[in-house]
Amino acid sequence: MAETQSKGAARLNGLIGLLVGIFGALAILGVTAKILKWDSLLGFDYNTVIMVGFMGEAAAFVAMGLLAFFHEAHHDHGVVVEAQERVPLQDLRRHTQDGERA
């Protein structure tokens, strides 16, 4: 079953995806400028464009991973039945139907 995201989380994921695309495009443009031996690209040396593109893309991926990690850490995937015991939701439904747990 897929988890639903809040509007804020969905917008943040969209923004990070946009940043990955922008920085990735910069990196590709820089590499293209290097292959075609252009002197400058957008007024910058191609090495600068490549570095900004790849470093920005890497930072966006790190941010995406951290957000996913903290999202998983704060959302419980089981139901606490007794102290320190986690039971998946399907098992809890089966136990309540059998009358073993209420």
Distance CA 102, CA 98 (A): 10
Low-confidence stretches of the chain (pLDDT < 70) are 1-5, 73-102
Cα angle, residue 46 at apex, residues 31 and 51 outer, rounded to 5°: 80
pLDDT of 62: 94
CA dihedral (67, 68, 74, 79) in degrees, to 10, reads 170
Condensed to tens digits (0 to 9), the pLDDT of residues 74-84 reads 665 555 545 55
SS3 1: coil
With a threshold of 0.85, does the pTM exceed it?
no
